[in-house]
Chains A and B, each alone.
Chain A
Amino acid sequence: AQRVTQPEKLLSVFKGAPVELKCNYSYSGSPELFWYVQYSRQRLQLLLRHISRESIKGFTADLNKGETSFHLKKPFAQEEDSAMYYCAPRRAGGFKTIFGAGTRLFVKA
């Protein structure tokens, strides 16, 4: 069965502190992994995807196939990073995407 787990519902850190949002997945085949973000009163939007190996707004995520994890990291959190973050795998070559339960990140001043 396809499953994605984000164990933390809420993560609260101080500004400037490192942050790691965890994501583990169970997915047949070799999925592609995405992180989506939803800021307050905005629609859901793509943050980054593993195939691009990019850094967006200081966030990075490494796909660990051995641990089936795709944790999202940022060395120094900013207040504007406060948002809801969703880990989302999809089948390689397809478009159908499932979403984890989400982690709400709250960055305190």
Chain B
Amino acid sequence: GAVVSQHPSRVICKSGTSVKIECRSLDFQATTMFWYRQFPKQSLMLMATSNEGSKATYEQGVEKDKFLINHASLTLSTLTVTSAHPEDSSFYICSAPPATGEGKLFFGSGTQLSVL
């Protein structure tokens, strides 16, 4: 099956610094990838849709200047949390749908971000 690789799996940073999370589709091309955020014991909240070659589409309430998304190639999307603060601490998950996957999503293993 399709594989989505997400790195790092865990990151701890100081308040005010920026953190970059990578999401790669290993054996398929993805013109679209999705970034979700998950708080403890809560569901996945869609943050944005990453589009290869164009700007990301952000969900209502998500600050695009805080969460920078770059879809540099057909296999790589990055999420940068800029000037991170403790309230940004969360579990971030990326997903991608293979073109021939009939709409199903494959997920990365997630990144646990802790901002001190």
Contact = CB atoms under 8 A, between A and B. Distances in A.
Contacts of A94: 103
A21 B24 CA distance: 32
Contacts of B110: 43
Task: Report the interface size class on chain B.
Answer: 20 to 34
A52 B109 CA distance: 26
A101 B44 CA distance: 8
Interface string B103-114: 111111110000
Interface string B72-116: 000000000000000000000101010000111111111000000
B44 A86 contact: yes
Contact of B42 (A46, A97, A101): A101
A96 B49 contact: yes
Contact of B46 (A44, A49, A98): A98
Contacts, number: 48
A62 interface: no
Task: Report the interface size class on chain A.
Answer: 20 to 34
Nearest to B32: A95
Nearest to A98: B46
A99 interface: yes
Contact of A32 (B32, B36, B95, B103): B103
A44 B43 contact: no
* A-B pairs with lowest CB-CB distance, top 10: A44-B107, A95-B97, A99-B44, A101-B43, A46-B104, A43-B109, A43-B107, A99-B43, A102-B43, A95-B32
19 contacts: A32-B103, A34-B104, A43-B107, A43-B108, A43-B109, A44-B107, A46-B104, A46-B105, A46-B106, A49-B103, A95-B103, A96-B34, A97-B34, A97-B46, A99-B43, A99-B44, A99-B45, A100-B43, A101-B43
Interface of A: 32, 34, 36, 43-46, 49, 51-52, 86, 90, 94-102
